[in-house]
Structure 1
Amino acid sequence: MLVFVTVGSTRFDALVEAAISEPVLSTLRDSGYNRLILQRGDSDIKSEEFDGESCTIQRHGVDIDIWKFKPSIQAECEQANLVISHAGSGTILDVLRLGKPLIVVPNPTLLDNHQEELASALDTLGHLKATSIQDLASTISSFEPRDLVLFPPFDGSKFSKLVDEEMGFI
């Protein structure tokens, strides 16, 4: 089974390091995941195994592909059995619209707490599981995708109605 970890276009060293740490990889392996794809963005990796741009390594029973950026992460999201992501709104919406199980880790180093607010609200609604770097392994261990609430499909008519109301057409 495949887990895809993404930090988007930002730098989130803590999530990247956590994703390839022994506690997280062992938990993923024990949960049935044998492959991890890590999109690291501008994050640094402190490992002699990592050669700079991309690499393939094996740690704690998990095969890991690491790369910086691609034009799209759609294919990785579609293939993944689980997505672990920073709490960026674009990534969250893309993954939830695909109906994929999602664990988000808000980046506490950002200037405001918009990631935390969004993650918390969607966790409360049951669409995803929000966690911290410190609790990532335990969250994976206890995570039950069947308990998630399906995210509603996009409905463009709501926006049209809102614009019509604001313009005085209805």
Structure 2
Amino acid sequence: MYAFVTVGSTRFDQLVQKALSDAVIDVLRAKGYSKIVVQCGNSEFDTKHFECKGETWVRRDDEDIQVWRFKPSLQKEYEQADLVISHAGSGTIIDVLRLRKPLIVIPNETLLDNHQEELASALAQLRYLKRSNVSELPKAIKSLQSSDLVPFPVFNGSRFREMLDEEMEYA
């Protein structure tokens, strides 16, 4: 199985470092994840256990643990992943939920106005995803049960038009 961690285009050193920690790697392995890929964006991470192979850093003692900064699109990663762990960016959340993939989000508390926390908490309350924080990530992974998550509703493009018509009193 494949676990994909992403911070998008932001810098979220704490999440990247935690995702590469023994505590997180061990719990992912215990749950059956054999491939772990971290998209680190502009974040810093300790490269001493990694070897650079082109655009990808590969862990020396385990080539199934990889880190890279950016790709033009993350859609392929989302589609292939069995679990996504992400910052709480709205674009990432919607892309992953539409694919009905298990998702753990970690709001980046260093961002201005903490808007990620509001979104993550609201969607977690609706049970579309699991919300955690950096320090509790191993526990969140361990306790995640896909059956506890509610499938995200299928996109209905006509619903927006209907709502707009109702608001403008055209309906």
Q: Please give the TM-score of this superposition, normalised by the length of structure 2.
A: 0.93
Equivalent pair of 1:25/1:62 in contact (CA under 8 Å): no
- Among 49, 55, 72, which residue is 2:57 paired with? 55
Equivalent pair of 2:105/2:131 in contact (CA under 8 Å): yes
User: Match of 1:9?
Assistant: 9
CA RMSD, 1 decimal: 1.6
Mapping of 1:51-130 within 5 angstroms?
51=52, 53-57=55-59, 63-130=64-131
Q: Give, in angstroms, the shift of residue 137 of structure 1.
A: 0.3
Q: Give, in angstroms, the shift of residue 58 of structure 1.
A: 5.1
Equivalent pair of 2:51/2:60 in contact (CA under 8 Å): no
Q: Give, in angstroms, the shift of residue 128 of structure 1.
A: 0.4
Listed as ranges, the gaps of 5+ residues in structure 1 are none
Please give the secondary structure, in 2, of the residue aligned with 1:112: helix
Please give the secondary structure, in 1, of the residue aligned with 2:67: strand
Number of residues of Structure 1 aligned to a counterpart in Structure 2: 169
Please give the secondary structure, in 1, of the residue aligned with 2:47: coil
Q: Give, in angstroms, the shift of residue 162 of structure 1.
A: 2.2
Please give the secondary structure, in 2, of the residue aligned with 1:43: coil
**Cα distance in 1, alignment partners of residues 162 and 57 from structure 2:** 49
Q: Give, in angstroms, the shift of residue 50 of structure 1.
A: 5.3
User: Match of 2:151?
Assistant: 150
Q: Deviations over 1:96-128 (max 9, x none)?
A: 000100000000101112101111111111110
Structure 1 segments, 4+ long, off by >3 Å, are 50-53
Q: Give the AA of the match of 2:82.
A: N
Q: Give, in angstroms, the shift of residue 168 of structure 1.
A: 3.5
Q: Give the AA of the match of 2:85.
A: I
Listed as ranges, the gaps of 5+ residues in structure 2 are none
Equivalent pair of 2:84/2:101 in contact (CA under 8 Å): yes
Q: Give, in angstroms, the shift of residue 72 of structure 1.
A: 0.6
Please give the secondary structure, in 2, of the residue aligned with 1:38: strand
Equivalent pair of 1:33/1:62 in contact (CA under 8 Å): no
Q: Please give the TM-score of this superposition, normalised by the length of structure 1.
A: 0.93
